Structure 1
Amino acid sequence: MNPRGLRPVDLAREHGLSTQAVRNYEDEGILPPAERTPSGYRRYTPAHAQALRAFLALRPGYGHGVAAEILRSAHRGDTGTLFRLIDGAHAELLRERDTLAEVTTALGALTAAPETYPRTPVETYPRTPVEPTVGTLARQLGLHPASLRKWEAAGILHPRRDPATGHRRYPPGAVRDAYVARQLRRGGFPLERIRVFTQQLRGAGDTDALGEVLAEWHGRLHRRSRAMLAAGRELDAYLDLVGAP
């Protein structure tokens, strides 16, 4: 190492960053404070270089905010907080993976119920020329109107308001979501999981497209898991350098 230490440009070049980005990371506490030369220039060490490697490795799997807090905790020697952040991110990833598995299972259940849903999940609700009111749709579903209002509050249903009366009207997409939600509720799914499912369904538009969305979702989780796994090596190397307890 240069006896005068590493410059911001030395850290930046390794990762294709600007020197200002490196300085910003120090200002955010992602890098520990650097010594200054008599003329005021930053002087970094191999520990700073490894801290930057660890942060950039952590960011794809943990996100910018959590990755930054992990590094700040490491600089303080607060490994208790550091490991809680890591454990929390892994728990969140597992919950999302469970949600994906449940959504995939629910899609299969909807497709495999011809006596109730003779076509794809997108086409398994009664087609009516008039958008039903909350009372009409509730009767079709065998539910109380309060259930539909609760699903609306949870972000599952998105009815429109009749401009003349202010009453709720359910366009075909909302009717479809209501039938999907009813089946998922009968399967014991919580409202938050149903909200995620219907969001995916609305974005996909049909069963085949939803399958592609689910595959993309699975790929995203896989990449995040691999990124978290790889980041552990860089973080461990940094903790070794700073002698974390």
Structure 2
Amino acid sequence: MTRGDRSPLRTADVARESGYSVQQVRDLERLGVIPPAVRAPNGYRAYTAAHVRALRAYRGLASAAGPVDARRLLATTFAAPRGDPAEPGTRLADAAAAIGAVHVRLARERDEALRAREALRAIQAEAVATVAPDCDPTDAAPDRAGDTMTITELAAALGVRTSTLRFWEQEGLAVPDRVTTLRARQYSTGAIQEARIVAALRSSGYGIPAVRDVVATLREVDGVADGAVQAERILDRRLDQIAARTVALLRAGADLAAVLDEVWQREAGRRVSRR
């Protein structure tokens, strides 16, 4: 920043320093995302560097946890009752706990993506191993009866409910190869592997439209092995996104700590002056 931390800033100054528009600064103040600005005798807002840091913290939190959670966290932090001597410590603990919860969420998402990637690699290895190196894949024998699974068996193997498999079928995912006259579903090896890819992506947080795109790609490329490779690339991009969100959260935590320190110091000064 070009000004001293104690120098008053106009709304336009805060907008320029934070990268938000003037209207966005006003809207975020109204929502409680940044501390209230001091009003000058002429009615104009007077901001400080703490407001710029609060906006930067909001940007990082929004990138890491989403704008709704970011607004809720900051609004709760800055709207805490004033005048309580224990307030600074309480607000610090609450803010730290909230940011810690986001870290835990990101770590869980990363673990899920890593497990899904390992599952995809196993699927790819199995698919490659089903065909001997000197054989043409088109000459492979059809599935034997023992290679098929019922919907109950497949659900148990994937750790999902049979209703989940039926829902995936309705969405064009993990379609069984045969449905008998008694509505019994039979899944061949290819359908089982496709269902495993769907389960791996769903467990990593991918929505139905994204999974449908992967499955469509899988059906266009040369076999399940190549489809698993395509799905793995998608998970690699997700891991990169999680890493970027984690870095944004680290920056937001540093900015938020600086904001809270300044706000509490100012409030402590007010309490001392009133004695």
- TM-score normalised over the length of structure 1: 0.69
Query: 1:131 matched to which residue of 2?
Result: none
C-alpha distance in structure 2 between counterparts of 1:79 and 1:57, whole Å: 18
* Offset, 1:212: 1.9
Change (3 A) 1:154 1:96: farther
Counterpart contact for 1:200–1:210, Cα < 8 Å:
no
Residue 155 to residue 226, structure 1, CA distance change in 2 (3 Å): farther
Residues 153 and 210 from structure 1, CA distance in 2 versus in 1: closer, same or farther, beyond 3 angstroms? Answer: closer
Whole-angstrom distance in 1 between the partners of 2:24 and 2:96: 26
Separation in 1, partners of 2:8, 2:17? 15
Q: Which of 211, 216, 230 is matched with 2:237 structurally?
A: 216
Distance 1:158 1:38, change over 3 A: farther
Pairing 1:56–2:69 present? no
Residues in 1 aligned to 2:170 and 2:235: alpha-carbon distance in whole angstroms: 25
Report what 2:221 is aligned to: none
Contact 1:58-1:227 at 8 Å conserved across structures: yes
Structure 2: tracts of 5 or more residues without a match:
81-87, 173-181, 218-226, 269-275
Task: Give the direction of change, closer, same or farther, for the CA distance of 1:109–1:37 in structure 2 (3 Å limit).
Answer: same
User: 1:193: which partner in 2?
Assistant: 203
Partner of 2:253 in structure 1?
232
Q: For the residues of structure 2 that align with 1:49 and 1:140, how far apart are their CA atoms?
A: 61
Cα deviation 1:61-97 (Å, max 9, x = unaligned): 2321222233223322523332222121111111111
Identical-residue share of aligned pairs (%): 28
Contact 2:121 2:228 survives alignment (8 Å): no
Residue type matched to 1:157 in 2? Answer: W
What do residues 86-116 of structure 1 show as CA deviations (whole Å, max 9, x unaligned)?
1211111111111111111111111122498
C-alpha distance in structure 2 between counterparts of 1:197 and 1:115, whole Å = 28
Q: Which structure 2 residues correspond to residues 1-245 of structure 1 after superposition, within 5 A?
A: 5-75=8-78, 76=80, 77=88, 78-114=91-127, 117-118=130-131, 140-144=148-152, 147=155, 150-153=161-164, 157-159=168-170, 178-181=192-195, 193=203, 196=206, 201-204=211-214, 205=217, 206-243=227-264
One-letter code of the match for 2:62? R
User: In the alignment, is the contact (CA less than 8 A) between 1:157 and 1:178 conserved in 2?
Assistant: no
In structure 2, the CA distance between the partners of 1:159 and 1:118, relative to structure 1 (3 Å rule), is farther
Aligned partners of 2:202 and 2:211 also within 8 Å: no
1:33 is paired with a residue whose SS is coil
- Please give the alpha-carbon distance, in whole angstroms, between the structure 1 residues aligned to 2:77 and 2:29: 14
CA–CA distance in 1 between the matches of 2:129 and 2:122?
11
**Structure 2 residue matching 1:32: 3-state secondary structure:** coil
Larger Rg: 2
Q: What is aligned with 2:175?
A: none
Kindly provide the amino acid, as one letter, of the partner of residue 22 in structure 2: T
Q: CA deviation at 1:184?
A: 9.3
Could you say what the CA RMSD is over the residues aligned between the two structures, in angstroms? 4.4
What stretches of structure 1 of length at least 5 have no aligned partner? 129-138, 162-166
Q: Per-residue displacement from partner, 1:110-130 (whole Å, max 9, x unpaired)? A: 1122498549xxx9xx999xx
| Counterpart position of 2:224 | none
Write the deviation string for residues 159-213 of structure 1: whole angstroms up to 9, x where unpaired: 379xxxxx9899x9xx96654446998xxx8x96288598765322223321221
Is the Cα–Cα contact under 8 Å of residues 8 and 19 in structure 1 kept in the other structure?
yes
